Structure 1
Amino acid sequence: MKATWNGVVIAESDDTVLVEGNHYFPEASLKREYTTFSNHRSSCPWKGQARWMSLFVNGEMLPDSVWFYPEPSDAAHEIAGRVAFGKGVTVA
């Protein structure tokens, strides 16, 4: 699987976990040089609290487009240490 935005591969891995239609990539596969800080947080009743990052590629920003659960619930243990992608990012 590859996650791409603005013509750049942001993450690539053969080891993704599919949860609720989202592919969670190993955190190590994320190209950190394309991520930047975000204050955004969200909460899922069964996964826990998510933190977000924004993408910055080729001079363009895509706010709040990468999320992860730093301490997922026991029910969501399989996404620990993984990241997923939202709006605007193509995962295929």
Structure 2
Amino acid sequence: MKAVRYGKVIADSDQTIIMEGNHYFPPVAVNRDFLEQSDFTTICCWKGEAHYYNIVVHSERNENAPWYCREPLEKTTNIRNYVAFWRGVKVE
């Protein structure tokens, strides 16, 4: 699986975890050169608090598109620090 935005591969792995229709990429599979930490967070009742990144490529910014859970709740600990994508990031 690859996560692509603005023509750049942001993540690439054949070891993703699928949860709620989203592919969660292992932390080592994510190219952090394209990411900057966001202050945005959300709460999921069964995954816990999600933290977000912004994607920046060629001065184009895609805000809060990748997310991850630092401390997921008990039933979802397998996605700890794995990164998922939305908001225009193509995952295939």
Residue 29 of structure 1 aligns with which residue?
A: 29
Deviation at 1:69, TM superposition (A): 0.2
Residue 17 of structure 2 aligns with which residue?
A: 17
Number of corresponding residues: 92
* Superposition CA RMSD, Å: 0.6
Matched AA of 1:67: W
Residue 76 of structure 1 aligns with which residue?
A: 76
Unaligned runs of 5+ in 2: none
Residue 42 of structure 1 aligns with which residue?
A: 42
Please give the alpha-carbon distance, in whole angstroms, between the structure 1 residues aligned to 2:27 and 2:84. 9
CA gap of 1:87–1:12, structure 2 versus 1, over 3 A, is same
Identity %: 39
Q: Secondary structure at the match of 2:77?
A: helix
Deviation at 1:37, TM superposition (A): 2.1
Matched AA of 1:48: G
Larger displacement relative to structure 2 (48-57 or 78-87): 78-87
Deviation at 1:81, TM superposition (A): 2.6
Q: Secondary structure at the match of 1:71?
A: coil
With normalisation by structure 2, the TM-score equals 0.97
Unaligned runs of 5+ in 1: none
Q: Which has the higher strand share?
A: 1
